[in-house]
Amino acid sequence: MSNILVIKHGSLGDIVQISGALKDIRNHFQNNKIHILTTMKFKFLFESCPYIDEIIIDKRLPRWNFFYLLNLIKNIRSYNFEYCFDLQNSSRTNFYRKNFKINNWSSSLTILNQGESKKDFDQEGVIQRFKVQLDRSNISDTQNVLKPDFSWAIDEQFNIGHKNYLFIAPFCSPKLQNKVWPNFKKLIELLKIHYPQYKILAAPGPSEIGMCKELDLEMILNNNKPTNIKQLAKIIKNASYVIANDTGPAHIAAHLGCKGLAIFGPHTSAKKVSIETENFQVLEVPELKNLTAEKVLDVLKSKIPT
């Protein structure tokens, strides 16, 4: 039995997107042991993943921390990995490629054809890039990579306490505030007027509870604490409709087959982040601040179930 390494540090949306790739890797290496190098933040989540056998934690300390890096390199080399699938494709993991000493290393750099530049390759959608990466790495069947299914992550035992609700995800990472649509409060007011049959709910993280109160959003919590990712997946899956910024919950909704809408400004395109599906759609605008709540409501009127 050989050991196979997959690398994916995050973020949440990126973790959701590799569900199909992980399934294809698992199916190809059925008799091998698959390990994932990830961060502590996602350890609990990957413990539920049926495509992963073992989790290796990377603290991602600065590269000048030679003691940490030497121990990580020593640990990785001890597994004698036959293949590595670098699904993070970052400068850090390219540094790892040069030091982990794994002969068969699949990344967006190593699979480029002659004359093909990484800059051009990276213009494609992220999931499409995973498809090319696996195909060029001789994975025999890649039927799942383009259709990630995050249902393996749902905590079916979590009691939401609500049935008919619209799920709102108006938050974003503090470092990515350019993704935030500033008119959620007005939209929430309009939704309450036009869709009184629905609760308007959110599931905030620890730093987002105050924002929920400002937006007058009813919160779903777990014993008065923020829900974890698996509980969040259950909440999103059971929603009648999801409205979000370009953020982790939007990717969860997209790859759970939920009906919903993600609002995009000029920070990137929906195509590049591979978020649009048959049920989950996007609204792209040149400037988020110029997009009114009334305009979004007009879009939603033909989409939210009545």
How far, CA to CA in Å, does 124 sit from each of 117, 264, 267, 271? 12, 17, 16, 8
**Domains of the chain as residue ranges with CATH:** 3-149 (3.40.50.2000), 165-300 (3.40.50.2000)
Comparing 120 with 3, which gets the higher pLDDT?
A: 3
pLDDT at 98 over 80: yes
Q: Please provide the distance, in angstroms rounded to a whole number, between the alpha carbons at the two ends of the chain.
A: 54
Q: What is the largest CA-CA distance in the chain?
A: 61
Q: What is the band of 108 on the pLDDT scale with cuts at 50, 70, 90?
A: very high
Kindly state the average pLDDT of the residues 231-255.
97
Q: What is the band of 12 on the pLDDT scale with cuts at 50, 70, 90?
A: very high
pLDDT for res 173: 78
pLDDT for res 13: 93
pLDDT at 252 over 80: yes
pLDDT at 176 over 80: no
What are the φ and ψ backbone dihedral angles of 54, each rounded to 5 degrees?
Answer: -150, 145
Kindly state the average pLDDT of the residues 19-45.
97
Residues 56-74: tens digit of each pLDDT = 999 999 989 999 999 999 9
pLDDT at 221 over 80: yes
Joined tokens for residue 171: 């938050």
pLDDT for res 135: 97
What are the φ and ψ backbone dihedral angles of 91, each rounded to 5 degrees?
Answer: -65, -30
pLDDT at 213 over 80: yes
The verdict on pTM exceeding 0.85 is yes
Q: What is the band of 294 on the pLDDT scale with cuts at 50, 70, 90?
A: very high
Average pLDDT of the chain, as a whole number: 95
pLDDT at 231 over 90: yes
In whole angstroms, give the CA distance from residue 86 to residue 97.
Answer: 9
Residues 266-293: tens digit of each pLDDT = 988 888 899 999 999 999 999 999 999 9
* 165 within 8 A of 200, measured Cβ to Cβ: yes
Kindly state the average pLDDT of the residues 27-40.
97
pLDDT at 175 over 80: no
Tell whether the torsion through CA atoms of 100, 103, 86 and 2 is positive or negative. negative
